[in-house]
Amino acid sequence: MRRLSVLLFLLCLSLGAWQSSEEFTLSKVSRVNDLTISDNGETWVLSPSIISKIDENNGDLLAPYQIQNARALAVIGQSIFYVDSRNRLVMQSLDDRTNPVLTGLNFINPTQMSALSVSGNPGLIVLEPTSIVFATPFEIMSTLNTSAEHFSAIPLADYSDRRTPFFTLSGNKIFSWSGGRFQNAENYTSRPLYSALTEILDFCADKGGNLYVLFADSIAVLDKSGQYKGKIGISNISRESRILSNPANNNLVIFDPSTRNMQILSESGHVSEELIVLQKNRPNPVDDHTEISFTLSEPLYLTITIYNLIGEPVKLIAKDRFLQGTHRVTWKAKDEKGNLVPNGVYFYRLESNRGVAIRQLIVLR
């Protein structure tokens, strides 16, 4: 068998790498109806009985507000907005816990709500089954007739400017909408921005207009024009998972409601002086699955392949351009035909035009 060598390259310190900075479980809520991040970077959670700010150091709930059967949530300045069980918009002041205010706005069946800015004033964008509604806290301003599964607005952007786009997800395609304004949404027109063959779970825009498209095992990163920049490898998550961008620090928040696990990805600091760092897989020995982590000091197009003991390829588990930072991919101990591999010693090989890294693993059931 040809012996596989490990090649590592050195680089100068690099900035802008995506790494997991915090990870915790929201153990004090049994179910999460919605999650949002305010313009000052505070993460808020909505459960059937409370609204609360989240302590991002440990996942604790800070000074929760008691409510009943609410769903869509938005936080603007010193005000919390949510939709109650009768589809009414309710405003709750952060300074007054005792007197929630019915705003007079009623919706049909809202599935998503987000705060936005209109010439420095607060506004709301609400997703209905067949329309998107633009509103101030006490008045519906305009309606766009369209069907979408999800939308994303650019945090802190001014939606009184017709050049400011928002984005929708429909039929596994992302569309960019521009040309309209908060007050006359009927003037918006759309153009296809991105499509995928695998299921898009969710997506979000950061304050620079970049898009982060969430899949079960990765995040695709697009610039504001829809140009593909690369991807961030993550662990397998459920189909209900959400992704949000924090406008205060540009962190990404991934939330999996099935496990109530919240992971914060940060694009700051340097990763390593080594160009490719391939970590040991976990768990090892492998029963039904294992995670393989690797860190890059610059964006690279790479493949990761599982080989058996005699050097035959068993399964290609990654083939893409990955961004600078730490990534995770999962192997479910199966070959290319979907069959479970027999017990034994295997190797996983990360290969790019800048180097190769190899490690050994064991399958033992």
b/e burial code for range 185-194 (CB count within 10 A of at least 16 → b): beebebeebb
The whole-number pLDDT of residue 273 equals 56
Of 146, 200, 145, 209, nearest in space to 173 by CA? 200
Q: What is the pTM of this model?
A: 0.77
Q: Do you know the residue count of the chain?
A: 365
The answer to whether the Cα torsion of 328, 330, 335, 340 is positive or negative is positive
> Model confidence over 292-328: pLDDT tens digits?
999 898 889 999 999 998 889 999 999 999 998 889 9
Of 213, 207, 123, nearest in space to 169 by CA? 213
Structure tokens at 7: 């090649």
- Please say whether the beta carbons of 112 and 100 come within 8 A: no
The answer to whether the Cα torsion of 16, 192, 187, 214 is positive or negative is negative
The helix/strand/coil state of 187 is helix
Work out the mean pLDDT of the chain and round it to a whole number.
88
What is the distance of C-alpha 156 from the center of its chain?
A: 18
> Model confidence over 11-48: pLDDT tens digits?
222 334 677 778 889 988 889 999 999 988 899 999 98
Distance between CA atoms of 147 and 75, rounded to whole angstroms?
25
The whole-number pLDDT of residue 5 equals 29
Distance between CA atoms of 23 and 105, rounded to whole angstroms?
37
Better pLDDT: 201 or 275? 201
The whole-number pLDDT of residue 9 equals 25
Q: How buried is 358 (Cβ within 10 angstroms: 0-12 exposed, 13-18 middle, 19+ buried)?
A: middle
Structure tokens at 355: 């180097």
Average pLDDT over residues 226-253: 90
Start-to-end C-alpha separation, the chain? 26
> Model confidence over 243-257: pLDDT tens digits?
999 998 889 999 999
What is the distance of C-alpha 125 from the center of its chain?
A: 19
pLDDT band at 158 (very low <50, low <70, confident <90, very high): confident
The answer to whether the Cα torsion of 243, 246, 247, 250 is positive or negative is negative
The whole-number pLDDT of residue 34 equals 94
User: To 5 degrees, how large is the angle CA 3–CA 8–CA 14?
Assistant: 160
- Above 80 in pLDDT, residue 335? yes
**Domains of the chain with CATH codes:** 18-267 (2.120.10.30), 276-363 (2.60.40.4070)
